[in-house]
Chains A and B, each alone.
Chain A
Amino acid sequence: MGGQKVIELVKVNKVYDMGAEVQVNALKDISLSIDSGEYVAIMGPSGSGKTTLMNILGCLDTPTSGLYLFDSVNVSDMDDNELARIRNQGIGFVFQTFNLIPRSDALHNVELPLIYSGVPVSERKERARKTLEMVGLGDRVHHKPNELSGGQRQRVAIARALINDPSIILADEPTGNLDSKTGDEIMLFFEDLYARGNTIILVTHEEYIAEHAKRIIRIRDGMIESDLPIERNGKVKAHHDTEKVTVGTGGQG
């Protein structure tokens, strides 16, 4: 790997104005860079600023100050519509709560990014179908989210994240709503995507999930605590060593 920089943050701050002169410094002078083809986990305790960082990396939000270069383009001061284009073309999101559209079937959910980049219908359907086949859901294209299991929903979401061939895949606690077995399956998916050269950024608070990555960035109180590659030998194996068994709620808000 070791391709060119796909993400570069320089002294990024995020301040939430709570009114009445109260401010929350959610991110403090964060600087980091991520190369194309990397598999990075962002870790930290609750309230440390993971989601805030994730939102900025995903161009859902802009920093209060500092510089953010995405694919060497400065996106710190872009307006809504320009950011929408970056998200559409450059970023694939995988959320903890899947975030599928309940009224639409799997195929249509996967099509959505293509709709917003203006791909014609026939090509759209074809690509969406292929991508669903790739994640093993070729026989579920016309199922609505509530007709799918948690793991299947997350696979639909992964297909949706992949369809526009994005520069990065951003996953925020992708296994948080899944039981550990299904979670492991999903992690194998990411492993596979990484092997094919995708850039993956994973946000999690669980050590054994983070260990799937090749590099772990730990943050605390809005600052980077450590940023280290993982030394590892051999293949990834399923970790059930933590006592926590997260039960898939199956809900999606």
Chain B
Amino acid sequence: MTFGTELREGFKLSLSALTANKGRAVLTMLGIIIGIISVTLMGAAIEGLTREFNKSFAFMGADVLYVDKWQWGFTGGEWWKYRNRKPLKADYADRIRREATLAAAVAPEVDRSGKVRFGNKVANNVDIDGTTADYAFVTRMDFDAGRFFTDEESRGGRPIAVIGKDVANLLFLNRDPIGEQIKINGLPFRVIGVRSTQGSVLGLFSLDNVVYIPLGQFERIYGTRFSATIGVRAVPGSDLDNAKEELRGVMRKIRGLLPSQEDDFSINQQTAFTNAFDQMIFYVGAIGLFVTALSLFVGGIGIMNIMFVSVTERTREIGIRKALGARRQAIMVQFLIEAVLICLGGGLLGLFLSYPLSMLLDNFLPTAMPVSIAMLGIAISLFVGVVSGIVPALRASKLDPVEALRYE
């Protein structure tokens, strides 16, 4: 009960002390304000990037391996090595399907940029994908209308197409595209399906500006010289690393590599991007933490300093309170609360300011400001308040009443 009364008295005192010195309090808060702004902005950027990333790269599937001439993600200065590899042939897919026991679905994919036309409307730079029926299984494809092509249809090389949402919107507006005839690089195709919206990669490249056609049709337009990517979905429940190792063995056999030769293909998976992404997050976090730590440190020192001043200014008052029976903890609580209130004030101001700033940042980076970041900001300011207030508060609480009463 005594402690409750002491706490309430401490609050009242701190508030009146702070309002008596508003300018000083705000100046002292500056470091905390900057610290909280940087921690919230960092948090918002990381949160936003992560959300965007998860949305963006989900299309690749966590259990899918992609055999490709190129190594995905950030690969440094090895561009020439990948560039000089022999192209991957689309029909590797058949051998993989036969020999890899851990492959549930296998589909080759070759793509080029092309022009798609319907009536007098034209879609430029569309990603024209030549693939097989299994591609729908590998990628777990969903449809807004119609379906993907069947095995027979793709083997037969019929002129049919499945279009992405962007293409559908651009060419057909409110019309139903199913059964309509489009022209890809001048050749006619009949639309049999519309794939559901997939979104974009980090808000930059749309995944919906795409048309899928049977591999045979693709080769009729573009020839066979382009390197394919072969998507392999692992058998459910199997270990992806085992599937990858098996796939690697099959590929080495297909490519006729000697044991001494290194792989002339790459097996990619979502983690290629996850790793690159983690690295990026690491840098964002490191910079943010550095700025945060620095400004909180400077802010904390400033608050400690102002608290020492405050203790000195009120030495006599402390003496009076002690003479009247204030215990050490009562004096300590009083000054600790004052320090915490300064920090909390700075923290709240910082949060208040970081909201519009995060809007600004949103122009360059995807951001999101969940409640947890605000809570973190508040917790940090509480922490800094306690840490920077504890030494001055302890000093105040240990003042000798006789000395303190004599202080002029």
Contacts and interface: CB of A to CB of B under 8 A. Distances in A.
B69 interface: no
A104 B124 CA distance: 78
Interface string A91-107: 00101000111010000
Nearest to A124: B5
Contacts of A112: 320-321, 324
B325 interface: yes
Contacts of A101: 317, 320-321
Contact of B323 (A87, A115, A120, A253): A87
Interface stretch (A53-61, A70-78, A222-230, A233-241): A53-61
B396 to A, nearest CB: 13
B10 to A, nearest CB: 10
Interface in B317-376: 317, 319-328, 330
Contacts of A87: 322-325
Nearest to A88: B325
B9 A60 contact: no
Nearest to A157: B320
A242 interface: no
A81 B328 contact: yes
Contact of B324 (A80, A113, A118, A120): A113
A115 B8 CA distance: 9
A101 B17 CA distance: 12
B302 interface: no
A88 B4 CA distance: 17
Contacts, number: 77
A56 to B, nearest CB: 10
B2 A116 contact: yes
Contact of A119 (B5, B316, B317): B5
B317 A113 contact: no
Contacts of A58: 323
Most buried by A among B20, B325, B326, B328: B325
B20 A103 contact: yes
Contacts of A164: 325
A19 B319 CA distance: 24
Given A84-B326, A99-B320, A253-B408, A60 B5 contact: no
B401 A60 contact: yes
A117 interface: yes
A116 B323 contact: no
B212 to A, nearest CB: 76
B402 interface: yes
Q: Determine the interface band of chain A, counting residues with CB < 8 A from chain B.
A: 20 to 34
B125 interface: no
A116 B401 contact: no
B6 interface: yes
B136 interface: no
B16 interface: yes
Most buried by B among A115, A117, A164: A115
Contacts of A31: none
Given A61-B402, A101-B320, A84 B5 contact: no
A32 B5 CA distance: 38
Contacts of B319: 99
Contact of B325 (A61, A103, A116): A116
Most buried by B among A101, A103, A116, A117: A116
Contacts of B401: 60-61
Contacts of A182: none
B204 interface: no
Contacts of A253: 316, 407-408
Interface of B: 1-6, 9, 16-17, 20, 316-317, 319-328, 330, 400-402, 405, 407-408
6 contacts: A60-B405, A84-B327, A87-B324, A113-B324, A115-B6, A118-B3
